[in-house]
Amino acid sequence: MSSETKQILTTDGIPLEVSLKKAEKKNKIKAFLLVAPLLLFLIITYVFPIGEMFSRSIDDKMITNMLPKTFKEMEKWDGKELPSEDVYKAFYYDFKLLVEKQEHGKLGQRLNKEKNGFNSITKKLFRQVKRNKIDESIGIKEQIMKVHKRWRNVEYWQAIKRTAPPYTLAKYLKGMDMYYGADGSIAQVDEDRRIHRILWLRTLEIAFFVTLFCFLMGYPIAHLLATLPMKYSNLLMICVLLPFWTSLLVRTASWMILLQQQGVVNDFFVMIGLVADDSRPEMMYNKVGTYVAMTQILLPFMVLPLYSVMKTISPSLMRAGKSLGGTPFVAFWKVYFPLTIPGIGAGCLLVFILAIGYYITPALVGGASGTLISNQIAFHMKQTLDWSFASAMGLMLLTGVLVIYWIYNKLVGVDNIKLG
Amino acid sequence: MSKNPEFVKFDKVDKSYDGKVLVVKDLQLDIAEGEFITMLGPSGSGKTTCLMMLAGFETPTHGEILLDGNIISNIPPHKRGIGMVFQNYALFPHMTVYENLAFPLRVRKVEKSEIDKKVDKALSMVSLNGFESRMPAQLSGGQQQRVAVARALVFDPAVVLMDEPLGALDKNLRESMQYEIKHIHESIGVTVVYVTHDQSEALTMSNRIAVFNDGKVQQLSDPAELYEKPVNSFVAEFIGENNTFNGEVVDIDKDKCKVKLANSEILANPISVKSKGEKTTVSLRPERALINPSDKMDNMFTGKIEEVIYHGDHTRVRLNLLGSSEFILKVPNSTSNLELKVSQDINIGWNSTDARALDPK
């Protein structure tokens, strides 16, 4: 009993507890130093870019910095009638500064995005300011209003006021086909211009069906892999993995060769008389092409987790199920299938998440009706150079994936995932 | 009610996996109703194949298997109504103990109240009441084993097959489970076909033992007879310990024969030798040879102690006797024990009836 309460000392008189902690601390530091490079790498390549993306997607500071005086004066303005002389004056001085720095063009473009027509009237104002036509000693409001009739329109001043906050969610609204209306309320874009919502839905639909097809095809393959004798299963495994060792681009290109209207598959259909030569079906540049190519490319991500789970299921379990009186189907459904759920969960989650952000394959074989949201993101990255919009959509995609992961966790439980 | 002596019948069953080698050759085996029969043999002797054919997971290449007079070779496993306990228990890991036991009843569409009653009864049989809601992974090896036994019995099968069910347990647990299974068998009278390679397991549990080797039943008899009267040298070698002498029959009588060894002659009991000049292997159980026998015995020799090994309840003595240095003696440890020392000479005697002259090895 006394040994429980008595402090144990090491030979040099330090309590054992203290010296053990000391030794452990050293080990902990060593372990941390070993993972530190990876941690640093992750922070630099993962946390930092996502943070950067987020700030870019909501950033609206440019205009706030361009018109500091105007926005200060506008704080007093109720926004219903035309603003006072002070606001016009402040705007004039801000604009003059921009003209000196030759940044007035940017202001025009940015305001034009908020409301059409700004570009031309800022250009007009620029010419007046450049030629020093505006007399600073008399009322500036009158002079600016004379430049163009739109400067007399309260809606344009309201538009300027809306750009005052340094942050905006406008890009996110745009990603959902919505925008801030004139009075600051959220409005839907016209029905014939709602392209993003269609793309989101299509992305979900294609990801869902690709996952389903992968599951339907991957499950039997994985089962075969897990039950065949070693020498055959190794060969089959190589067949499953072979696509992994081939460039994604090459694989997609080979699907283009196969699926195009004069392609191998169509030739074969014509040869066996399934379709007439002049009515070859289009299997590419539409959803069909995207489905076929993506399913093939993502199949290994379904097969491997399933295989690793099935490998651990003892064949005697199925036998037990049968010997206890279950038909082969019952034995499969009640015994084997429930045990593969962790693999199904892992495979489906992997394939779905990969599919939802897939880019190259839909870009090459998808055509107009088979492209996904990622293609739209790439379009804004490379063509319109609207990076903040691309960032916003990228983040929406990321959020969507996280939500799916969360739902999945609620339904199945992430602990049940098994990747091998 | 008279018991059917041919409740399970293997009728000239052959089995080959690859079409070249027969793993089971012309098997003829009758199992009586309510009997506990053990298929014993080294690995690869065909015993598990026989069990799998009976369970329906393998089909005989030739011949028929009959259950209660009906041919079952073409009936799929789930319709045979045979319970089975697997080597690694094969409990369904995603089901509780209750669900595991209820499985065979549910697939038979038994009513819920009836299921509860039967599961309860089966669990009390293996004294595991109160474990219904545990998962198999939360049970110890012995408990899992008992659940597996209960599950194989819960649907009242006519025959229960057990495929080395105790192989994964430690020695003490294995022994207590042997008695437990034996008692369950005695109390419910089900027919049990048990497969093992452990001879002591077979000897303690079975009514009859079929010793398998090379795809054939070498001997089918009750445990005592199997041990005392092996019919050939494989059985003698496989069951228990055994001292052997290889020699040639020089003289043969009705119940005695003289066997000539390398440099001496012994008297033996002719079992499978018929005439003079035949080669034979004489088998003698270690406990049948006595040191300094008080009675008159017809084989008396002197040997030199090579090794003494203490085994707790008995001492094993290895002797150099009749030109062989592998002769083993088992001496019970009692107070009146002799002082046994290495390189001491001792007198050994045994009766010729215990020395069985079998087929040559």
Do B70 and B95 reside in the same domain of the chain? yes
Burial classification of residue B207, based on how many CB atoms lie within 10 Å of its CB (0-12 exposed, 13-18 middle, 19 or more buried): middle
Query: Other CB atoms closer than 10 Å to residue B228's CB: what's the count?
Result: 14
- Report chain A residues whose CB lies below 8 A from the CB of B54: none
Digit-coded pLDDT (tens) for A134-191 = 787 888 888 888 888 888 888 888 888 888 788 888 888 888 888 877 666 788 888 8
Residue that terminates a domain, selected from A58, A76, A93:
A58
Round to whole Å and give the CA distance between B347 and B289. 10
How does DSSP assign A185-215, residue by residue? -EEEPPGGG-HHHHHHHHHHHHHHHHHHHHH
Digit-coded pLDDT (tens) for B112-124 = 999 999 999 888 8
Q: Is residue A172 assigned to a domain?
A: no
- B181's CB contacts (< 8 A; 6+ apart) are B149, B162, B165, B192, B205
Structural domain that includes position B75: 8-233
**Backbone torsions φ then ψ of B43, nearest 5 degrees:** -65, 140
pLDDT value for B330: 84
Round to whole Å and give the CA distance between B134 and A39. 41
**Which of B87, B90, B161 has its CB closest to that of A317?**
B90
Burial classification of residue B352, based on how many CB atoms lie within 10 Å of its CB (0-12 exposed, 13-18 middle, 19 or more buried): buried
Specify the number of domains making up chain B.
Answer: 2
The one-letter amino acid code at A172 reads Y
CA B237 from chain center: how many Å? 13
Do A49 and A91 reside in the same domain of the chain? no
Q: Which of A243-252, A364-373, B6-15, B98-107 has the highest mean pLDDT?
A: B98-107
Q: Is residue A136 assigned to a domain?
A: yes
Do A19 and A124 reside in the same domain of the chain? no
The residue of chain B with its CA nearest to that of A327 is: B78
Digit-coded pLDDT (tens) for A17-30 = 888 888 899 999 99
Round to whole Å and give the CA distance between A349 and B296. 84
Rounded to the nearest angstrom, the minimum Cα separation between A276 and chain B is 49
Contact criterion met (CB < 8 Å) for B76 and A319 = no
Residue that terminates a domain, selected from A31, A58, A85:
A58
Please tell me if residue B57 touches chain A, with a CB cutoff of 8 Å. yes
What's the average model confidence in pLDDT over A212-217?
95
Contact criterion met (CB < 8 Å) for B88 and A314 = yes
- Report chain B residues whose CB lies below 8 A from the CB of A320: 84, 86, 90-92
pLDDT value for A159: 82
Do A78 and A115 reside in the same domain of the chain? yes
- Report chain B residues whose CB lies below 8 A from the CB of A317: 90, 92
Whether the Cβ atoms of residue B142 and residue B173 lie closer than 8 Å to each other: yes
Please tell me if residue B72 touches chain A, with a CB cutoff of 8 Å. no
How high is the mean pLDDT of chain A? 85
Q: Is residue B328 assigned to a domain?
A: yes
pLDDT value for A39: 92
Return the minimum-mean-pLDDT range out of A254-258, A263-267, B169-173.
B169-173
H and E: helices and strands count for chain B: 8, 20
> What CATH code is carried by the domain that includes residue B222?
3.40.50.300
pLDDT over 90 at A215, yes or no: yes
What's the average model confidence in pLDDT over B7-23?
86
Whether the Cβ atoms of residue B75 and residue B54 lie closer than 8 Å to each other: no
Do A241 and A366 reside in the same domain of the chain? yes
Q: Is residue B275 assigned to a domain?
A: yes
Residue that terminates a domain, selected from B194, B215, B233:
B233
| CA-based torsion, B180, B181, B186, B189: positive or negative | positive
Tokens coding B267: 């008297």
The 3-state secondary structure of B55-73, one letter per residue:
HCCCCCCEEEEEECCEECC
Specify the number of domains making up chain A.
Answer: 3
Contact criterion met (CB < 8 Å) for A325 and B81 = yes
Closest CA to B31 of B141, B145, B161: B161
pLDDT value for B336: 59
Task: Determine the residue among B87, B107, B161, B193 to mutate to test chain A binding: the one whose Cβ has the most chain A Cβ atoms within 10 Å.
Answer: B107
Structural domain that includes position A40: 2-58
User: Which residue in this structure is represented by tokens 């490319």?
Assistant: A297
> What CATH code is carried by the domain that includes residue B277?
2.40.50.140
Residue that terminates a domain, selected from B233, B263, B295:
B233
- Per-residue pLDDT band for B348 (boundaries 50, 70, 90) equals confident
DSSP strand pairing (B299-310 vs B345-350): antiparallel
How does DSSP assign A115-135, residue by residue? STTHHHHHHHHHHHHHTT-S-
Whether the Cβ atoms of residue B63 and residue B14 lie closer than 8 Å to each other: yes
Rounded to the nearest angstrom, the minimum Cα separation between A346 and chain B is 18
Size of interface A-B (CB pairs under 8 A): 69
Q: Is residue B2 assigned to a domain?
A: no
Q: How far is CA B51 from CA A387, B78, B188, B212, in A?
A: 71, 15, 21, 12
Contact criterion met (CB < 8 Å) for A324 and B103 = yes
Do B142 and B269 reside in the same domain of the chain? no
Q: Is residue A214 assigned to a domain?
A: yes
Q: Is residue B332 assigned to a domain?
A: yes
Task: Determine the residue among A324, A336, A339 to mutate to test chain B binding: the one whose Cβ has the most chain B Cβ atoms within 10 Å.
Answer: A324
Do B32 and B65 reside in the same domain of the chain? yes
Residue that terminates a domain, selected from B200, B233, B266:
B233
- Report chain A residues whose CB lies below 8 A from the CB of B84: 319-320, 323-324
Round to whole Å and give the CA distance between B158 and B190. 6
Do A219 and A244 reside in the same domain of the chain? yes
Contact criterion met (CB < 8 Å) for B78 and A331 = yes
The one-letter amino acid code at B53 reads M
Q: Is residue A153 assigned to a domain?
A: yes
Instruction: With both helix axes pointing from N to C terminus, report the angle between A140-147 and A118-130 in degrees, rounded to the nearest 10.
Output: 120
The residue of chain B with its CA nearest to that of A330 is: B107
Q: Is residue B41 assigned to a domain?
A: yes
- Per-residue pLDDT band for B231 (boundaries 50, 70, 90) equals confident
The one-letter amino acid code at A116 reads N
Digit-coded pLDDT (tens) for A90-122 = 888 888 888 888 888 888 888 887 788 888 888
pLDDT over 50 at B161, yes or no: yes
- B138's CB contacts (< 8 A; 6+ apart) are none
**Which of B80, B87, B107 has its CB closest to that of A326?**
B107
Q: Is residue A79 assigned to a domain?
A: yes
Contact criterion met (CB < 8 Å) for B87 and A331 = no
Contact criterion met (CB < 8 Å) for B55 and A323 = yes
Do A54 and A70 reside in the same domain of the chain? no
What's the average model confidence in pLDDT over B172-185?
87
Do B63 and B176 reside in the same domain of the chain? yes
Do B73 and B205 reside in the same domain of the chain? yes
The residue of chain A with its CA nearest to that of B81 is: A325
Rounded to the nearest angstrom, the minimum Cα separation between B48 and chain A is 13
Do B341 and B220 reside in the same domain of the chain? no
Whether the Cβ atoms of residue A91 and residue A67 lie closer than 8 Å to each other: yes
Q: Where are the alpha helices (DSSP H) in A182-286?
A: 195-227, 230-241, 248-259, 264-271
Mark which residues 263-282 of B lie under 8 Å from A by CB: none
Round to whole Å and give the CA distance between B289 and B296. 13
Contact criterion met (CB < 8 Å) for B104 and A330 = no
Round to whole Å and give the CA distance between B64 and A345. 45
Round to whole Å and give the CA distance between B293 and B297. 8
Do A277 and A377 reside in the same domain of the chain? yes
The residue of chain A with its CA nearest to that of B154 is: A324
> What CATH code is carried by the domain that includes residue A282?
1.10.3720.10
Query: What is the ipTM for the molecules in this complex?
Result: 0.78
Do A36 and A90 reside in the same domain of the chain? no
pLDDT value for A1: 46
pLDDT over 60 at B319, yes or no: yes
Contact criterion met (CB < 8 Å) for A324 and B56 = no
**Which of B56, B84, B94 has its CB closest to that of A320?**
B84
pLDDT value for A2: 47
Rounded to the nearest angstrom, the minimum Cα separation between A329 and chain B is 11
Do B87 and B165 reside in the same domain of the chain? yes
Do B117 and B210 reside in the same domain of the chain? yes
Please tell me if residue B4 touches chain A, with a CB cutoff of 8 Å. no
Contact criterion met (CB < 8 Å) for B108 and A322 = no
- Report chain B residues whose CB lies below 8 A from the CB of A322: 56-57, 76-78
What's the average model confidence in pLDDT over B250-279?
79
- Per-residue pLDDT band for A223 (boundaries 50, 70, 90) equals very high
**Which of A316, A323, A339 has its CB closest to that of B82?**
A323
Do A200 and A243 reside in the same domain of the chain? yes
B49-53 long-range contacts, CB within 8 A, separation 24+: B49/B15, B49/B23, B49/B24, B50/B10, B50/B13, B50/B15, B50/B24, B50/B195, B50/B212, B51/B161, B51/B163, B51/B193, B51/B195, B53/B13, B53/B15, B53/B24
Do B169 and B277 reside in the same domain of the chain? no
Do A85 and A223 reside in the same domain of the chain? no
A176-181 long-range contacts, CB within 8 A, separation 24+: A176/A200, A176/A396
Contact criterion met (CB < 8 Å) for B56 and A323 = yes
- Per-residue pLDDT band for A416 (boundaries 50, 70, 90) equals low
**Which of B77, B88, B152 has its CB closest to that of A316?**
B88
Whether the Cβ atoms of residue A270 and residue A280 lie closer than 8 Å to each other: yes
- Report chain B residues whose CB lies below 8 A from the CB of A328: 76, 78
Round to whole Å and give the CA distance between B91 and B95. 8
Round to whole Å and give the CA distance between B66 and B250. 47
- Report chain B residues whose CB lies below 8 A from the CB of A331: 78
Tokens coding B351: 């009766």
pLDDT value for A243: 79
Burial classification of residue A247, based on how many CB atoms lie within 10 Å of its CB (0-12 exposed, 13-18 middle, 19 or more buried): exposed
The residue of chain A with its CA nearest to that of B56 is: A323
Contact criterion met (CB < 8 Å) for A321 and B103 = yes
Q: How far is CA A128 from CA A107, A110, A138, B7, in A?
A: 16, 20, 15, 114
Round to whole Å and give the CA distance between A237 and A235. 5
Whether the Cβ atoms of residue B258 and residue B250 lie closer than 8 Å to each other: yes
- Per-residue pLDDT band for A384 (boundaries 50, 70, 90) equals confident
B33-49 in b/e burial notation, b at 16+ Cβ within 10 A?
A: bbbbbbbbbeeebbbbb
Q: Is residue A181 assigned to a domain?
A: no
What's the average model confidence in pLDDT over B253-282?
80
Digit-coded pLDDT (tens) for A345-357 = 889 988 998 999 8
Do B276 and B139 reside in the same domain of the chain? no
- Report chain B residues whose CB lies below 8 A from the CB of A326: 78, 103-104, 107
Please tell me if residue B167 touches chain A, with a CB cutoff of 8 Å. no
pLDDT over 70 percentage in chain B: 98
Residue that terminates a domain, selected from A11, A33, A58:
A58
**Which of A320, A331, A339 has its CB closest to that of B86?**
A320
Q: Which of A209-213, B84-88, B202-206, B289-293 has the highest mean pLDDT?
A: A209-213
Task: Determine the residue among B48, B67, B78 to mutate to test chain A binding: the one whose Cβ has the most chain A Cβ atoms within 10 Å.
Answer: B78
Whether the Cβ atoms of residue A351 and residue A222 lie closer than 8 Å to each other: no
pLDDT over 80 at B360, yes or no: no
A98-101 long-range contacts, CB within 8 A, separation 24+: A98/A66, A99/A126, A99/A129, A99/A130
Task: Determine the residue among A323, A337, A416 to mutate to test chain B binding: the one whose Cβ has the most chain B Cβ atoms within 10 Å.
Answer: A323
Dihedral over alpha carbons A49, A51, A56, A57 (to 10 degrees): 110
pLDDT over 60 at B290, yes or no: yes
Round to whole Å and give the CA distance between A399 and B205. 65
- Per-residue pLDDT band for A4 (boundaries 50, 70, 90) equals low
User: Which residue in this structure is represented by tokens 């704080």?
Assistant: A75
Closest CA to B352 of B297, B279, B313: B297
Rounded to the nearest angstrom, the minimum Cα separation between A330 and chain B is 8
Rounded to the nearest angstrom, the minimum Cα separation between B57 and chain A is 8
What's the average model confidence in pLDDT over B261-272?
80
Q: Is residue B1 assigned to a domain?
A: no
Q: Is residue B3 assigned to a domain?
A: no
Helix (H, G, I), strand (E, B) or coil at A136: coil
Round to whole Å and give the CA distance between A220 and A302. 11
Q: Is residue A183 assigned to a domain?
A: no
Please tell me if residue B136 touches chain A, with a CB cutoff of 8 Å. no
Rounded to the nearest angstrom, the minimum Cα separation between B78 and chain A is 4
Q: How far is CA B48 from CA A156, B8, B27, B175, B181, in A?
A: 90, 16, 13, 22, 19
pLDDT value for A213: 95
Rounded to the nearest angstrom, the minimum Cα separation between A310 and chain B is 14
Do A285 and A155 reside in the same domain of the chain? no
How high is the mean pLDDT of chain B? 85
Do A201 and A115 reside in the same domain of the chain? no
CA angle B286/B292/B297 to nearest 5° reads 75
A413-417 long-range contacts, CB within 8 A, separation 24+: A416/A341, A416/A342, A416/A345, A417/A342, A417/A345, A417/A346, A417/A349
Return the minimum-mean-pLDDT range out of A43-52, A159-168, A291-300, B79-88.
A159-168
Do B137 and B209 reside in the same domain of the chain? yes
- Per-residue pLDDT band for A124 (boundaries 50, 70, 90) equals confident
Q: What is the DSSP letter of B287?
A: G
Rounded to the nearest angstrom, the minimum Cα separation between B74 and chain A is 15
Q: Is residue A173 assigned to a domain?
A: no
Closest CA to A407 of A329, A359, A352, A343: A352
Do B37 and B176 reside in the same domain of the chain? yes
The residue of chain A with its CA nearest to that of B78 is: A325
Return the minimum-mean-pLDDT range out of A31-40, A334-343, A365-374.
A365-374
